[in-house]
Amino acid sequence: YCVEFKTESLSHYCALENRPYARWMQYLREGHTVCVACQPPAMNTDTHRCSGDGHNADGGKILRWEAIGNSRCQGTWKKIRQLEQCSCPLVHSFIFT
């Protein structure tokens, strides 16, 4: 499954990232919608959920995120909706880890 979030805030360290495999962090923006896929091995085998997916969060709850590979690139987002059939676009798509 996938979860759509609206990015509320992010640290300025995301824009400073210039390592080739992590340049995607430069494109994160406040107010943008991102789509995050929950797949193994991040998916818990018992609950079939990914940690941090906002399962019990309503649209008003602010949740925290952190980028893998640069723990200083972090911020907050609000859950928009969960999609059982993933249809994440090629840009602004991520995977829970």
Strand stretches in 11-73, DSSP E = 33-37, 62-66
Map out the domains of the chain as residue ranges: 2-92
pLDDT of amino acid 75: 95
What's at 34, amino acid-wise? V
Is residue 62 predicted with pLDDT exceeding 70?
Answer: yes
30-38 mean pLDDT: 91
Residues in the chain: 97
CA–CA gap between residue 84 and residue 61 (Å, rounded): 21
Q: What average pLDDT score do residues 53-59 get?
A: 80
The fraction of the chain above a pLDDT of 90, given in percent, is 41
57 band by pLDDT with thresholds 50, 70 and 90: confident
